[in-house]
Amino acid sequence: MTAKKQEHLPVVPVENKESETVELKRRLTLWNGVAIVVGSIIGSGIFVSPKGVLVEAGSVGLSIIVWAGCGIISLVGALCYAELGTTITRSGGDYAYILEAFGPFLAFLQLWVNLIIIRPTAQAIVALTFAYYFLQPIFDTCDPPDDAVRLLAALCITLLTFINVYSVKLATRVQDFFTIAKLLALIFIIIAGVVMMAQGEVEYFKNPMKGTSTDVGKISLAFYSGLFAYAGWNFLNFVTEELINPFVNLPRAIYISIPIVTIVYVLANVAYFTVVSPSAMLASNAVAVTFGERIHYSLKYIIPIFVALSTFGGVNGLLFTSGRLFFVGAREGHLPELLSMIQLQKYTPFPAMLFTDGWMGGMSVLMLISKDIYSLINYMSFVQWLSVGGSIFGMLVLRKTKPNMERPIRMPTFIPVSFLIVVIFLLIVPLYAAPYDTGMGVLIVCSGIPVYILGVMWKKKPVAFTNFVYNITKKSQKLFLVASEDQSKCS
């Protein structure tokens, strides 16, 4: 998928004199790392998934247990990723780890499923949730029109793409601000729930295990929905090259952020059940708004703003890390070379960010074909956990094949093995609980095989095609003032 070797362009004077090399700069602090993890995790999930967890779990008690269990699973996984991220310090997350452990073919399939399903689905759900909640107070007596929701979601993605293209510092400031805003919003919900419990609103906790599902498949799907809300716990690993002192700040950011999110999620769900009955939650498309209405009518207008703030920050986190993933994939020759280039004045992966907006925006619209948001979550979850499992298995493989690799952090073997067992459970059980959704996930993975053969393995492409790609790349370099990292020496 690469063009011919690029001609060297005239060096463009830049304001930033940190370095004479064209490369991503280490500008992300520990707090920025915590904000990326917390901000990426807390998006639409805590407002969408409670219904999905409850419908499969069957009871209030098991729902709360599932939410806590999902937090523990995410923390164990994050501990493994602390080892991976400090051993393999380049950006790209799962893609980089699978590439190191298993080579380019499986790494390409991981990149492919991110392009086709994981990132577009997550972005579609989060952006649509933002748009729905933002517009809901305007349409007081009915749901917002679908076209208005989709248009606002597209505008949200476009605005945040511009911010990410323009400046890394501005993008991280946006992430920091909305991370604080979403935490304050959830703390408000938690405090409201505590007040209601203090006033005696504990009816739905008197027999919390009533109706508990005993079907292993349903419980597995409950974890799928819950873990969707925790998606993003490994996102900091996608931007390791931009993190200051990653050997220290990567594990610290993980150790700080995952427990914060777990505590907030569990308490938020407890708060929901103080005033929202299980049947009302199952009937609601906006659990947080239903919660607000039951406490005070005015909160019907305030809660949607809180949710909008939360999901807006979630979209920003997805865009920030997605652009870096595609940048690294292009650098390895798995996407067009243009996407591996860096803007000479802002030191941002400008072409990769534009691609992220165009491709993921278009794919996100296609995701709207499905009317069932929970099927989308199941499609994405299967493929996502397949990628995570591949990374963890790869970590164990690298311990055997490359025992002399520097490992600043090395987890006891039982931690990755235990996590891998959980991942296998999450992959196998849905085969009979939701065979169609799982089958779709398998087909999506396999669809990358012919693309790899044609795009990567086939070296002798037609001259007309390679010339076309070369000319587009060269003109884009001049238009956007971008250069690849191997064009890094100023003359």
Instruction: Indicate the Cα dihedral angle 266, 271, 274, 277, nearest 10°.
Output: -70
The Cα-based distances of 336 to 5, 103, 107 in angstroms read 12, 19, 16
Contact 420, 389 (CB under 8 A): yes
pLDDT in tens, the chain (491 residues): 544 444 444 444 444 444 456 666 777 889 888 988 888 788 777 876 788 899 999 999 999 999 999 999 999 999 999 899 889 988 888 999 999 999 999 999 999 998 888 888 778 777 888 888 888 888 877 778 888 888 888 888 888 878 877 777 888 888 888 888 888 888 888 998 999 888 888 888 888 898 888 888 888 888 878 887 898 888 888 778 888 888 889 889 988 999 999 999 999 999 999 988 898 888 887 788 888 888 877 777 888 888 888 788 878 877 777 888 889 999 999 999 899 898 888 777 888 888 877 777 677 666 655 556 666 666 777 888 889 999 999 999 999 999 999 888 899 999 999 999 999 988 887 777 778 877 888 888 899 999 999 989 988 889 998 999 889 998 988 888 888 875 544 33
What domains appear along the chain, each with residue ranges and CATH number? 30-457 (1.20.1740.10)
- Picking from 44, 141, 41, the residue whose alpha carbon sits closest to that of residue 373 is 44
Backbone dihedral angles phi then psi of residue 342, each to the nearest 5 degrees: -120, 140
pTM, 2 dp: 0.81
